[in-house]
Structure 1
Amino acid sequence: MKKSFLLLVLIIISSCSSEDSDTELKKTLQGRWNWDGSSGGIAGTSSTPESTNKVIYIEFSGSTYRNYVDGKLFSEKKFEIKNRKSIFGGERPMIVSTDTLQYFVPMSFTIENDKLFLSDECYDCFGSGYTRIK
């Protein structure tokens, strides 16, 4: 009986810590991020605000992801964070869409200080860097 109770407690704690971790990751994403550049694709191209003559930023607010180009809303999607197997190896936190009606490539991400790195989870896709807007 004690073993069953202990097992139940461990399951509850482990499931809560995963949700707490996802919530913490979502909090670190919150705010606006200015695009620094992207690279990738089949041809291995790179682009920056200077090379494209565009100002791009993304915004995470609650469970909404918005992409702005030259100050105009380009796209808006609902998202959540899930730990999934990555094409880059191992499991990574990923931004995934909760809207089944819109196509959205999952993106793995890392945050280092005020830098956000997003990687599309598909072969020959792009990786992008962003700086937090304060």
Structure 2
Amino acid sequence: MRYFILLFAALVLCSVSSCNKDGLPVPASTQITGSWRWVKSVGGIAGVTLTPQSLGYSFTQVYGADSTFKMYKKDSLTLSGKFSITRNYKYSATETFDLLKINNQNPTAFIIRNDTLYQNDVFISDGFSTVYVRIRPD
């Protein structure tokens, strides 16, 4: 688990030093807005890898500009509510990252790179690291 936290911290450091095409930083709250398709989750006590293929179903997360959140399993709504983002949360003396909180669930650390959303359970010992990709409108 320590390895995943260190890897995630490295990704966060890379993102802090990067910019968008215009050279202006894009706030995380606007970057996350839109629809995201689940790719995989890795972690847990057994260190398992879960994918839509291995489970036989997919998840889609939708983040609204008005801070609304919806999660679909296949095409059925399974969770809805509000999300919030805490920027630059100080996890330790050397680690800071952005937190994503959905309803009253434990927040996850997150980073967005090249239309890929990485979420990491940092407040759970054997949590999961999850990857989503942005769904582009046709």
Q: SS state of the match for residue 117, structure 1?
A: strand
1:60-79 pair list within 5 angstroms: 60-61=63-64, 62-79=66-83
Q: TM-score by structure 1 length?
A: 0.73
1:94-133 pair list within 5 angstroms: 94-97=99-102, 99=103, 103-121=104-122, 122-133=124-135
Q: How much has 1:73 moved relative to structure 2? A: 0.8
Letter in 1 for 2:97: R
Letter in 2 for 1:41: G
Letter in 1 for 2:56: N
Whole-Å separation in 1 of the counterparts to 2:97 and 2:81: 21
Q: How much has 1:48 moved relative to structure 2? A: 0.4
Letter in 1 for 2:73: V
Whole-Å separation in 1 of the counterparts to 2:133 and 2:101: 21
**Percent identity among equivalent residues?**
30
CA RMSD of aligned residues (A): 1.8
Structure with bigger helix share is 1
Alignment match of 1:54 (pick from 36, 39, 57):
57
Partner of 1:34: 37
Q: TM-score by structure 2 length?
A: 0.71
Q: How much has 1:76 moved relative to structure 2? A: 1.3
Q: How many residues align?
A: 108
Instruction: Show structure 1 runs of 5+ residues with no match.
Output: 1-20
Q: Residues 68-117 of structure 1, C-alpha deviation per residue, up to 9 Å, x if partnerless?
A: 10111111131211132337x611111124x5xxx401011111111110
Larger radius of gyration: 1
Whole-Å separation in 1 of the counterparts to 2:51 and 2:101: 25
Whole-Å separation in 2 of the counterparts to 1:92 and 1:49: 28
Alignment match of 1:45 (pick from 38, 48, 54):
48
Letter in 1 for 2:29: K
Partner of 1:11: none
Letter in 2 for 1:104: Q
Whole-Å separation in 1 of the counterparts to 2:96 and 2:80: 26
Instruction: Show structure 2 runs of 5+ residues with no match.
Output: 1-24
